[in-house]
């Protein structure tokens, strides 16, 4: 269904907003200018969300990975690797398409009405850049620095990550209680701010520029896309190979569900053969319109309402806990 | 020029201009602050007052971008060509699979997480996450 015609936010947009709010449920952090220090930060959130954001209630998986690698000399980073393996195997890049706050920010920036740059061979080649950043800034530099200097150096977080600048720096520095932090700002902040502005501008003109070209977390999850439990699936018996799905997709995919696919399921709407669906293992979550009977449609709608009810209850509980009830507050 | 094209052109220019001015502002703050620090080692490079002074002139442009965005969204103005499909090419979509691989990876994930809980890896994550990451926010 084309939600632009109804002006209603799509379910995917609602889930993106929901997850952004859930990851940053510590709303009093924005009011007080302090970060959350409770036990929930033992867990990593699936998407890219800086743990220095005053609202963040979980750890950032990318930051945690770099610190774990830096500490490899005296302790194996099994916990973080296990978490990334779990997220990747269950969700793959569905996280990018549905559960990442930075993905949401990029898509909202792309809604600004300007001329847009389409994908091309150049953008497809650029999509490999995130693997270089993963190898160098996320793995090699923290590992080398940790082993040689016995000090953590989360190189991607320190030199590049726009989430840290936007969610951490800008939000923290906006609060009067943190005016003392201004004394620590220098060349590093200047360069990170410039990178943030450039990435933001790129996202306005080019769909999900950070996600496609720079995000190491997307690079990691993309490796699991072929095996992940949840994601878009093509019925190869129905697929005619027309390529309409790939042509309409704004990511640099070569086929549906490859390492660049964020499982947004927009290709489902353009497939003439109705061969694409969103599945969680054997359970079908979303199919093209007109492919299921009335009874099945009503059953799915009911299941959807129950799921939303549970999700909203969870969100309310999280907001209560992280703002009023948590003993760590 | 049609209204759609005009708004797209103006908005594109405004966005680029806003980005350039933001970059110029922060570089200007750094340059002036560094010069002040060269004279007085205790001087701050960035101060809230300096940031406000440099960013205040950019605020009207920021609101212009916001306003034009609102107008564009209400009037449903978009670059149809830029948002449309690309040309050419067929594709051979393959079925996703690897149930055995997925099961093995899931088991490995659970084993690693449990191992990490026992070797204090989770505590490392926690102890890092509950402190302001000075590297992440650009404090060094």
Give yes or no for residue A1 having a pLDDT over 70: no
Q: What is the chain A residue with the closest CA to B94? A: A236
Tokens of B101: 């691989």
Q: Which residues numbered 156-195 in A keep a CB inside 8 Å of some CB on B?
A: 157-158, 161, 164-165, 168-169, 172, 179, 181-194
CB spacing of B115 vs A78 below 8 angstroms: yes
CB spacing of B19 vs A200 below 8 angstroms: yes
Contact of A273 with A238, CB cutoff 8 Å = yes
Distance CA A36, CA A58 (A): 9
CB spacing of B111 vs A205 below 8 angstroms: no
Distance CA B140, CA A329 (A): 27
From first to last of its 140 residues, chain B has per-residue pLDDT tens of: 588 899 999 999 999 999 999 999 999 999 999 999 899 988 888 988 888 899 999 999 999 999 999 999 999 998 988 888 887 666 767 666 688 999 999 999 999 999 999 988 999 999 999 999 888 888 87
pLDDT digits (tens, 9 = 90+) for A204-251: 999 999 999 999 999 999 999 988 999 999 998 999 989 999 999 999
CB spacing of B109 vs A4 below 8 angstroms: no
Of B88, B91, B98, nearest to A227 by CB-CB distance is B98
The predicted complex's ipTM stands at 0.92
Q: Which residues numbered 106-125 in A keep a CB inside 8 Å of some CB on B?
A: 111-120
Which of A92, A91, A101 is closest to A25 using CA atoms? Answer: A101
The whole-angstrom distance between A89's CA and the closest CA on chain B is 6
Sheet holding A283-286, edge to edge: A230-234, A276-280, A283-286
pLDDT digits (tens, 9 = 90+) for A285-310: 888 877 778 888 888 889 999 999 99
Contact of A173 with A100, CB cutoff 8 Å = no
Tokens of B49: 């007052």
Of A75, A183, A246, nearest to B119 by CB-CB distance is A75
Q: What is the chain A residue with the closest CA to B19? A: A197
Which of A178, A166, A174, A167 is closest to A53 using CA atoms? Answer: A167
Distance CA B55, CA B11 (A): 20
pLDDT (average), residues A268-293: 88
10 Å CB burial of residue A302 (0-12, 13-18, 19+) is exposed
Contact of A25 with A108, CB cutoff 8 Å = no
Beta bridge partners, A147, equal none
Number of CB pairs, chain A paired with chain B, less than 8 A apart: 281
pLDDT (average), residues A158-173: 93
Q: Which residues of A touch B48 (CB under 8 A)?
A: 179, 182
pLDDT digits (tens, 9 = 90+) for A150-162: 888 999 999 999 9
CB spacing of A190 vs B30 below 8 angstroms: yes
CB spacing of B46 vs A182 below 8 angstroms: yes
Which of A88, A67, A240 is closest to A155 using CA atoms? Answer: A67
**pTM as predicted:** 0.93
CB spacing of A116 vs B79 below 8 angstroms: yes
Give yes or no for residue A322 having a pLDDT over 90: yes
CB spacing of B93 vs A256 below 8 angstroms: yes
Residues in chain A: 329
């Amino acid at each position: 269904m084309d939600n632009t015609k109804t002006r209603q936010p799509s379910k995917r947009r609602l889930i993106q907003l929901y997850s952004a709010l859930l990851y940053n449920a510590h709303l009093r952090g924005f009011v007080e200018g302090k970060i959350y220090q409770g036990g929930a930060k033992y867990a990593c959130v699936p998407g890219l969300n800086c743990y220095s954001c005053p609202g963040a209630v979980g750890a950032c998986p990318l930051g945690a990975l770099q610190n774990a690698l830096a500490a490899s000399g005296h302790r194996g980073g099994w916990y973080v690797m296990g978490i990334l393996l779990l997220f990747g195997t269950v969700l793959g890049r569905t996280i990018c398409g549905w559960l990442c706050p930075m993905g949401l920010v990029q898509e909202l920036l792309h809604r600004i009405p300007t001329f847009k740059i389409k994908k091309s061979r150049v953008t497809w080649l650029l999509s490999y850049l995130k693997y270089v950043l993963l190898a160098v800034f996320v793995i090699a530099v923290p590992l080398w620095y940790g082993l040689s200097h016995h000090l953590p150096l989360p190189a991607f977080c320190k030199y590049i990550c726009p989430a840290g600048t936007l969610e951490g720096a800008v939000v923290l520095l906006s609060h009067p209680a943190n005016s003392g932090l201004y004394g620590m700002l220098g060349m590093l902040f200047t360069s990170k701010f410039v990178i943030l502005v450039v990435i933001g501008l790129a996202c306005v003109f080019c769909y999900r520029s950070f996600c496609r070209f720079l995000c190491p977390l997307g690079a990691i999850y993309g490796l699991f896309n072929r095996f992940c439990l949840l994601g878009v699936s093509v019925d190869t018996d129905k697929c005619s190979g027309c390529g309409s799905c790939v042509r309409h997709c704004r990511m640099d995919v070569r086929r549906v569900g490859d390492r660049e696919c964020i499982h947004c399921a927009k290709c489902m709407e353009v497939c003439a053969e109705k061969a694409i669906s969103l599945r969680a293992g054997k359970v079908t979550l979303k199919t093209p319109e007109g492919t299921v009977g009335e009874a099945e449609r009503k059953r799915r709608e009911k299941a959807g309402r129950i799921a939303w009810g549970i999700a909203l209850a969870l969100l309310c509980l999280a907001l209560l806990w992280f703002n009023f009830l948590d003993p760590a507050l | 020029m049609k209204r759609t094209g005009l708004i797209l052109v103006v908005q594109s220019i405004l966005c680029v201009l806003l980005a350039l001015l933001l970059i110029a502002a922060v570089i200007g703050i750094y340059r002036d602050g560094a010069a002040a620090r060269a004279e007085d080692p205790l001087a701050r490079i960035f101060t809230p007052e300096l940031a406000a002074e440099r960013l205040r002139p950019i605020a009207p442009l920021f609101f212009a971008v916001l306003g034009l965005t609102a107008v564009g969204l209400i009037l449903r103005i978009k670059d149809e060509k830029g948002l449309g499909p690309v040309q050419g090419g067929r594709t051979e979509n393959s079925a996703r699979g690897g149930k055995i691989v997925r099961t093995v990876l899931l088991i490995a994930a659970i084993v690693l997480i449990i191992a990490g809980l026992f070797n204090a890896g989770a505590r490392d994550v926690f102890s890092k996450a509950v402190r302001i990451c000075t590297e992440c926010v650009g404090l060094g």
